[in-house]
Amino acid sequence: MARGLDRQRHILDFTLAALLRRKGKTGALVAVYTLVVFLLASALFFGHALRREAELVLKDAPEITVQRSLTGRYAPIPKEYAGAIGEIRGVSSARPRLWGYYYDANSRANYTLVVPAENQPDPGTIVIGSGIATLRDANPGDQIGFTGYDGAAQSYRVARVLPEGAGLVSADLILISERDYRALSGIPDGEATDLVLTVHNAKEFATVAEKIRQRFPDTRPIVRDEILRTYDALFNWRGGVVAVLSGMAGLAFVIFAWDKATGLSAEERKEIGVLKAVGWETSDILAMKFWEGIAVSFTAFLLGVTLGYLHVFWGGSFLFAPVLKGWSTLYPNFRLIPAVDFGELGAILFLVVVPYSVSTIVPSWRAATIDPDAVLR
Amino acid sequence: MILHPALLALEISALLCATMVVYAACFGMGIVRYWNLASGSETQLVLERQTYLVSTVLSYFLAFQLVSLFLFIRTADSICHLFVGAMCAVGTLTVNAFGYPTLALKLVNFLLAGLWLILNHADSRGYDYPLIRVKYLLLALVAPFFALEAGLQTLFFLNLDPDIITSCCGALFSPASRNLATEVVNAPPLPMLGILYGSGVLLLLAGGAFLRRGIGGYLFGGANLVHLAVALAAVVSVVSPYLYELPSHHCPFCILDPEYYFFGYPLYLSLLIAAVTGMGVGLLQPFRKVASLAETLPALQRRLVRISLGAQAVFLILCTLPVLFSALSLR
Amino acid sequence: MISARNIGKVFNQGRPNAFTALKEVSFDLQRRETTILKGPSGSGKTTLLGIVGCMARPTTGRIFLEEREITSLPERFLTDIRRRSFGFIFQQFNLIRGMTALENVMIPAYPLGERHAELKRRALATLDLFDLAAKAEAKVEWLSGGEAQRVAIARALINDPSVIIADEPTAHLDLRLSEEFMAIMRRLKADGKTLILASHDPIVYDSDLADRVVELRDGAVAGSAERA
Ligand SMILES: Nc1ncnc2c1ncn2[C@@H]1O[C@H](COP(=O)(O)OP(=O)(O)O)[C@@H](O)[C@H]1O
Ligand SMILES: [Mg+2]
């Protein structure tokens, strides 16, 4: 047993020394390998973090949102609906909400306008997210101008800038008073953007939603869990696309690895021949090739995953941010909350290490079965 | 089909591995047909070299299989919220009819690959390749299972439809639905624990008898198979509720989650190691009379028994911990 | 100690370029004796050394090592016998470039799983036998021809084999170094090693070291002489 361990240790030592002796070749292999792992890890970490972000946002989201829908299009909902819906059994409260988006043509960015339920800003003032503050170069006390639904210019004083760190969610946020909101959006008194319900018993979500649909056929209740599922499908799909792309990169890499491993240089063939001639057996060479694969894979995996982590959680995913989030100018350097999951690491392992190993088995075996008497001549 | 990265990963590697193993099994058939140890011809040399390729492929397969078993569960767990009603891996696995068969086959194939490698190891101790035909015929028998697993997994993934309403582990194991799973789950917990320890003690006795007097190899191997089933049932019916501290939560997968300190990994790993090595003892038993193995085989079997009993002890201790320290009492 | 019975070796059997390198070669070697394989280039000396040294298998015939037939052993067992019983000194020294002399000497012992410290101590001692202790940490490509060969000899000895096999050992050496090599062989013989040397160099085959000279011609034994 101890002999077996010492044997493996010797072979490992020899393998590492051999890899270091061929710095150029090893370096190229590790570099390409790392790049593939890095791309894949970045994509997966990014998708996962976005999903987490969405989950966090939705955690505080209302259990059921009711929108009004006329001929399949969104429409503001009359406030009276709130009272009637609030009486449905299972619904503990129903509250109208005012919010919307504002497209700023100058900076070509979308802002989210929200009238908070509590602590509304005083009329004439707004609270803005850090993204907007940077984009419009606005500080507390400054005036910011907007164009209302009727084309009239509106101007508000910045009361406060929301702290950074809340990430994606608050960067584009504008908190506004109800009066200003109505002036800007043109939604008349007595109507709201949508209604939010609190329903305590999760089992009743579906029943409540059904009852609302029956009683108010022009409404569309949206259950939170459904949104979560939609988000999930979306992120997974995007993650999947990136994975497919990286898979292609991986394939190219496998071909590269195959080429590297099959195209044993004359020097290496000679070396393996010598090893066999002086008393190494086929399985010793296979063990050596195994350690070689482990060393290369482990290094590349560790490097790639670390770089991917830094890229996503420190570097603002500068490589993918544009692709995955839509070209929003508002999030130049947001920080995602670090979140890594074992499944993700396993997926990377399987997407990269397994193809690499499988593609090197046969070449390694070829190398290992070189005739020991080949070096006699 | 859901384009989840982990699903892609599992699928790609399953297809790759299945291809490799089938390829290796084809080599194996060539070896069975043309093997002639007495010949010094180059064909024979080539065949002997191919044996190295086949065993290398199988070793890699075994390692990947182990990771894939856990990654499969982990992934099923992490995508469960895509399905209405699912709350953990159980929900995902019941989305269609291929989930559980895939998982079961992954487990079986892990055992088969492990057993094959044990046989292969034994064969390599004999100077005249005594088991070469047995071993490759066996490989030809098990290779279709490996391919079948890749096929079932593909069907499972292709038929993952997010619109299907599935059930969570609570519903699956609730007394209202009567099936094998519920029978296991609702087995009275303390007797179940007794059966687990009883079967553990029997294993210990059988193993001890083998170590001392070299008898009962078949018994030990068979007992390990039975014990594997008992142990899995006990994990579901007793160990999980104690660990979750919820009398009705019986899920065998949630114990792999970080909330439970990844407790399931060492638990299942020790059980799997114990089962493979223990069953390996029985598998080797018929070959003890082969002349070239007469010396090495008993020693190898004894080593397997020791490893098996050691891993089994770890498993039983791990099972006991939650029972001792849980806030829950099922008495 | 080693008996070869009707050894035949055919390369590329069954193909149009089939070539019979050895036919019906038989001989016996005694322990502690020195045997010289003599013959022109292409006569099959190297092929025979490979077969006797368990590196290759004969197409026909049988080889016995200490009464045990080793002809059709699996590679795993053949290798085990080879590394414990035979030390090879190759025509091209076949040292691994980029590694030190010491590491080169240790390589044959790696698969045996000896403790590293113990192995290193033995390797240094073996190098010291050949006045190479000072060169232990030198990369082999910086060694002179004579030093390189002595490292190759040290490597052949590291697993303490009973038989030393050398193929054309003097082919790359000048007269002085050839004589130095023969002196080392004499020492090894005195230490009780069995030597098998293949050469077409008179310095080797006319040496008084030889107990037996086997002459090969076109793959067959053309003559075998025992010396007193
Ligand atoms: N692998 C091989 N394939 C075909 N022919 C070979 C091979 N190895 C050696 N030979 C041939 O066998 C003959 C004997 O070679 P060898 O044993 O090297 O002779 P020597 O060592 O006496 O010079 C040579 O004619 C050589 O060309
Ligand atoms: Mg020659």
Q: What is the pLDDT of residues A63-102, one digit of tens each?
A: 788 888 787 777 888 988 888 888 888 888 888 888 888 8
Q: What percent of chain B has pLDDT over 90?
A: 34
Closest Cβ–Cβ partner in B5, B70, B81 for A228: B81
CB atoms within 10 A of CB A269: 15
Contact indicator for A53, A306 with CB cutoff of 8 Å: no
Q: Which residues of C touch A7 (CB under 8 A)?
A: 110-113
Rounded Cα distance between A312 and B6, Å, is 19
C171 close to ligand 1 (CB < 6 Angstrom): no
Question: B102, B20, B31, B11: which is closest to B61 by C-alpha?
Answer: B20
What 3-state class would DSSP assign to C165? strand
> For residue B14, how far is its CA from the centre of ligand 2 (angstroms)?
49
DSSP state of B327: S
Q: What percent of chain A has pLDDT over 70?
A: 80
- Between B315 and A40, the more confident residue is B315
Mean pLDDT of the C87-113 span: 92
| Residue C130 in contact with partner chain A when CB distance is under 8 A | no
Angle at which helices C175-190 and C145-157 pack, to 10 degrees? 20
- Between A91 and B144, the more confident residue is B144
Q: Tell me whether residues B40 and C71 touch, CB distance under 8 A.
A: yes
Question: C89, C140, C93, C100: which is closest to C123 by C-alpha?
Answer: C100
* Contacts of B among chains (3+ CB pairs under 8 A): A, C
DSSP state of A336: P
Task: Give the pairing of strands A194-199 and A91-104.
Answer: antiparallel
One-letter amino acid at C145 equals G
Mean pLDDT of the A28-50 span: 83
Tell me the sheet residues that pair with A73: A70
Question: C207, B206, B6, C19: which is closest to A240 by C-alpha?
Answer: B6
A377 close to ligand 1 (CB < 6 Angstrom): yes
Q: Tell me whether residues C79 and A375 touch, CB distance under 8 A.
A: no
- Statement: residue A327 has pLDDT above 60: no
Task: At C100, give phi and psi (nearest 5°).
Answer: -75, 165
Pick from A96-110, A270-284, B230-244: least confident: A96-110
**What are the structural domain ranges in chain C?**
2-226
* Contacts of A among chains (3+ CB pairs under 8 A): B, C
Q: Which domains does chain A have, with CATH numbers?
A: 2-58+230-376 (no CATH), 64-217 (2.40.40.20)
> For residue C219, how far is its CA from the centre of ligand 1 (angstroms)?
9
User: What mean pLDDT, rounded, does chain A reach?
Assistant: 80
Give the C-alpha distances (Å, rounded to integers) separating A371 from A367, B145, C79, C92, C152: 9, 35, 12, 17, 20
Pick from A6-20, A102-116, B142-156: least confident: A102-116
Task: Give the pairing of strands A219-223 and C212-217.
Answer: unpaired
Q: What is the ipTM of this complex?
A: 0.92
Q: Whose CA is nearest to atom 24 of ligand 1?
A: C42
Q: Tell me whether residues B127 and C77 touch, CB distance under 8 A.
A: yes
Mean pLDDT of the B155-162 span: 84
> For residue B290, how far is its CA from the centre of ligand 1 (angstroms)?
39
Rounded Cα distance between C61 and B28, Å, is 28
| Two structure tokens written together for B4 | 């989840």
Tell me the sheet residues that pair with C62: C5
pLDDT band at A354 (very low <50, low <70, confident <90, very high): confident
Task: Give the pairing of strands A191-192 and C2-11.
Answer: unpaired
pLDDT band at B171 (very low <50, low <70, confident <90, very high): very low
Contact indicator for A340, A45 with CB cutoff of 8 Å: yes
Rounded Cα distance between C2 and C81, Å, is 13
User: What mean pLDDT, rounded, does chain B reach?
Assistant: 84
- Statement: residue A361 has pLDDT above 50: yes
| Residue C26 in contact with partner chain A when CB distance is under 8 A | no
Selected from 3.40.605.10, 3.90.1210.10, 3.40.50.300, 3.30.830.10, the CATH number assigned to the domain covering C2-226 reads 3.40.50.300
* Burial group, residue C17, by CB count within 10 angstroms (0-12, 13-18, 19+): exposed
For residue C198, the ligand 1 atom closest to its alpha carbon is 21
* Burial group, residue B157, by CB count within 10 angstroms (0-12, 13-18, 19+): buried
Q: Which residue of A has its CA nearest to B55?
A: A283
Q: Which residue of A has its CA nearest to C84?
A: A279
Contact indicator for A355, B12 with CB cutoff of 8 Å: yes
> For residue C88, how far is its CA from the centre of ligand 2 (angstroms)?
13
Question: pLDDT tens, C37-61?
Answer: 999 999 999 999 999 998 888 888 8
C199 close to ligand 1 (CB < 6 Angstrom): no
Rounded Cα distance between B286 and A315, Å, is 62
Q: Which residue of C has its CA nearest to B40?
A: C59
Question: pLDDT tens, A167-216?
Answer: 555 677 888 999 999 988 888 888 898 888 888 776 677 778 888 888 88
C223 close to ligand 1 (CB < 6 Angstrom): no
**pLDDT of amino acid B163:** 61
- Between C51 and B171, the more confident residue is C51
Q: What is the DSSP string of A245-309?
A: HHHHHHHHHHHHHHHHHHS--HHHHHHHHHHHHTT--HHHHHHHHHHHHHHHHHHHHHHHHHHHH
Q: Which residues of C touch B48 (CB under 8 A)?
A: 74-75
With b for 16 or more beta-carbon neighbours within 10 A and e for fewer, the A151-170 pattern comes to eeeeebebeebbebebbbbb
Rounded Cα distance between C110 and B91, Å, is 52
Question: A283, A289, A15, A277: which is closest to C108 by C-alpha?
Answer: A277
Tell me the sheet residues that pair with C198: C37, C167
For residue C39, the ligand 1 atom closest to its alpha carbon is 22
**pLDDT of amino acid A360:** 82
> For residue C39, how far is its CA from the centre of ligand 2 (angstroms)?
10
What pTM does this model have?
Answer: 0.80
What 3-state class would DSSP assign to A227? helix
Q: Tell me whether residues A343 and B6 touch, CB distance under 8 A.
A: yes
Nearest listed ligand to the Cα of residue C42: 1
Closest Cβ–Cβ partner in A44, A350, A368 for B71: A350
- Statement: residue B184 has pLDDT above 70: no
- Whose tokens are 């067959």? That residue is C220
CB atoms within 10 A of CB C116: 13
Q: Which residues of B touch A209 (CB under 8 A)?
A: none
C21 close to ligand 1 (CB < 6 Angstrom): yes
DSSP state of A352: I
Question: pLDDT tens, B80-139?
Answer: 777 766 677 787 888 888 988 999 999 999 999 999 999 999 988 888 888 988 999 999
Answer positive or negative: Cα dihedral of A259, A261, A267, A269.
negative
